[in-house]
Amino acid sequence: MVVRVQVDEREVDIKAIRAQGAGGQNVNKVSSAVHLRFDVAASSLPDEIKERLLALSDQRLTQDGVIVIKAQQYRTQEANRLDALGRLQELVDSVAEVRRARRATKPTWSSRQRRLEGKSQRSGVKALRGKVRGAD
């Protein structure tokens, strides 16, 4: 079951910063990169989604429960802002999907037989690699 939860942009703190790396004069002069901060605990998301977000072992999640996303892929600030918001929404959507618990099953009789047949064939191939005896 997929629950679609929209992140409210008013709860997101976005700051423009200078991008890192190559880019010449544009990178050195223009603050086109975006630093997004989203406080999970103070958000209006449903409680079960907040719990799943805080339980993630993601490097973008700080110990204070704040998601930090840095976007600097594009040349314009607006494109980087949309990219950061999209990545935040993807993260929220990934925890909103409740996965069914896996039920353990046993291999079937025929699959076990096929496995053993393959092992015996492989054993025969390896046995033929030895020295030939009796051919003097």
- Calculate the dihedral angle through the C-alpha atoms of 58, 61, 65, 67, rounding to the nearest 10 degrees: -130
In a domain, 53, yes or no: yes
In a domain, 106, yes or no: no
Give the structural domain span for 76: 9-96
Average pLDDT over all residues of the chain? 84
In a domain, 104, yes or no: no
In a domain, 134, yes or no: no
Among 23-32, 49-58, 97-106, 119-128, where is mean pLDDT lowest? 23-32
- The tally of domains found in the chain comes to 1
Q: pTM for this one?
A: 0.65
In a domain, 86, yes or no: yes
In a domain, 118, yes or no: no
Among 27-31, 35-39, 59-63, where is mean pLDDT lowest? 27-31
Residue type, 77: Q
In a domain, 132, yes or no: no
13: domain CATH number is 3.30.160.20
Under the banding of pLDDT at 50, 70 and 90, the label for residue 135 is low
Predicted local distance difference test score (pLDDT) of residue 67: 86
Euclidean distance between the first and final Cα of the chain, in Å? Answer: 72
Residue with tokens 């975006």: 34
Mean pLDDT, residues 124-130: 92
Q: Do 55 and 38 meet the contact criterion of CB atoms below 8 Å apart?
A: no
- pLDDT, one tens digit per residue, over 48-98 is 888 888 888 888 888 887 888 888 888 888 899 999 999 988 888 888 887
Q: Is it the case that residue 1 has pLDDT exceeding 60?
A: no
3-state secondary structure the chain: CCCCCCCCHHHEEEEEECCCCCCCHHHHHCCCEEEEEEECCCCCCCHHHHHHHHHCCCCCECCCCEEEEEECCCCCHHHHHHHHHHHHHHHHHHHHCCCCCCCCCCCCHHHHHHHHHHHHHHHHHHHCCCCCCCCC
Between these two residues, 45 and 84, which has the higher pLDDT value? 84
In a domain, 18, yes or no: yes
